[in-house]
Amino acid sequence: MHSIALAQTGAAETAWARAQALAALRTAVEALDDVRASLAVLTSDTDWHSDGVRAMQSALEDLRLGARLEASEMRSRESEAERIDVL
């Protein structure tokens, strides 16, 4: 009778330890799911910002090239104006 009581006590402790481990694992899984969801949002935000920065850089480069072309045209017009004889 004594060995049966010890076996039942051991089983209860094992069941309790298992329940605690499962609860801790479920908590960890929920935390990881929350982190994963947050990372998905950050990834999306980062893509948008990266795309926005790339688009802005491209637009600025286009503007820089356009200004360079306009400056070249203005230099040509300046040169033409300098060649005009004024009597």
Q: What is the pLDDT of residue 22?
A: 92
25-77 tens-digit pLDDT: 999 998 988 888 887 777 677 666 677 788 888 899 999 999 999 999 999 99
Structure-block tokens of residue 73: 């045209």
CA dihedral 52, 57, 60, 62 (to 10 degrees): -100
Q: From CA 29, how far away is CA 41, in angstroms rounded?
A: 18
Judged by average pLDDT, the poorest of 16-20, 22-26, 47-51 is 47-51
Is the pTM above the cut of 0.95? no
If you ran DSSP here, which 8-state letter would residue 24 be given? H
Half-sphere exposure of residue 50, counting CA atoms within 13 Å on the CB side?
6
Query: Residue 8 pLDDT > 90, yes or no?
Result: no
Q: In residues, how long is the chain?
A: 87
Tokens of 6: 């010890």
**Residue 1 scores a pLDDT above 60:** no
